[in-house]
Amino acid sequence: MSSDEQGPKSKPDFLILTEDNLKNLTEDDLEDALILTAGVPGSFPNQITVPTEKINQSTALGPLDIVIFFEKRSPNPVDETGCNQWAFVVDDKTALYVRGRVRSISIAKIRSLPNATVIRRVPAPLAPYVASMLLKYRWRPSMFQVAVNFLQSNNYRPFLEGSFFPPDVSYASDEEYEVAWQKMVAALQPGDCIFTFDRASWMSKLIARATHGPFSHCGIYIGGGELGEVVTSGTRIAPIETYKGRKYRVAVYRHYGTIKSVDDMISDIRATAGRPGYGYIGALRAGVIALFGAHHKTAAPNSLILWGFLTYITQA
């Protein structure tokens, strides 16, 4: 955040994207601001309505225009326009898309395709960041799809930072850690996801490595200093201080919105407290699915983040 001493303009902690400010977004707006999608709290994220344009030989295409077209080898169903595939323009010559692996299609070919349509959805100042991430994972289709997940959710922070997860933290003293912990707790809101990692546990390290991320467990903050979680001993409600200590890494993520209200979600958590915990077979299956990159098919802790519907808030 810019302070008053650093200049007359103060940047927001949270930049909520709306149709109005999408039109006027600048590079300066992106600095030190957490990008959130437009949406109503407690509901499924709204998608901003954007215009579409039929593509012809004179259509100008640039990063990060989204091109909808027909490809005869695509397994996707054909929509009402006769198209079944979409690609992301990454430079002035090429667009990338996933079909088994990440494939490319030239801009020249796109202009010759019948029924091809362009959607200009990504704000221009963000386009270079998004294109850079897509090119980074050109040879890793599972991670390219993860980037698409975040893009579909209007979740732009990972693109700005160049990573799907925040860097780890370390502290020079217990006092420094205490300040970070209290700041994190103060930022919590009911419904936030609490991701944890036990630095002293080989099992925690194995789970995190196998699921392609830094975390091995997840709970839901329910307010009053408590979180609901599922552990091997059962479903329980525990104090957030359960994970206080420098041996733990704890990060807070927030939904853009949920299909049901936060109050309903918390009621469900309280109602299920005391039930049996997760089975090792199910946990192993989720880990194997995540290991092979099918994050959209599993609820492993890091996969929940890689779905794209959560945004990082803070950590300690």
- CA dihedral over 255, 258, 263, 268, signed as positive or negative: negative
DSSP 155-208: --HHHHHTSSSPPP---SSHHHHHHHHHHHHHH--TT-EEEEEETT-HHHHHHH
Predicted local distance difference test score (pLDDT) of residue 255: 80
Poorest-confidence range of 195-204, 238-247, 275-284, 294-303?
A: 275-284
| pLDDT > 90: percent of the chain | 40
Domain boundaries, the chain: 52-161, 174-315
Query: What is the pTM assigned to this prediction?
Result: 0.77
User: In the CATH hierarchy, which fold is given to the domain comprising 174-315?
Assistant: endopeptidase fold (from Nostoc punctiforme) (3.90.1720)
Q: Is 59 exposed, middle or buried (0-12, 13-18, 19+ CB in 10 A)?
A: middle
Q: Helix (H, G, I), strand (E, B), or coil: what is residue 103?
A: strand
Q: Of 191-195, 259-263, 297-301, which one has max mean pLDDT?
A: 191-195
- Tens of pLDDT, residue by residue over 154-176, are 788 888 888 999 999 999 999 99
Whether the CB-CB separation of 109 and 58 falls below 8 Å is answered with no
Residue 155 in tokens: 């979740």
Whether the CB-CB separation of 217 and 204 falls below 8 Å is answered with yes
> Which residues have a Cβ under 8 Å from the Cβ of 45 and sit 6 or more positions away?
37, 38, 39, 153, 154, 256, 257, 309
Q: Helix (H, G, I), strand (E, B), or coil: what is residue 299?
A: coil
- Tens of pLDDT, residue by residue over 65-103, are 999 999 999 999 998 889 999 999 999 999 999 999 999
- Tens of pLDDT, residue by residue over 102-139, are 999 999 999 999 889 999 878 788 888 899 999 999 99
Cα separation, 117 vs 81, in Å, equals 9
- Tens of pLDDT, residue by residue over 214-227, are 998 899 999 999 99
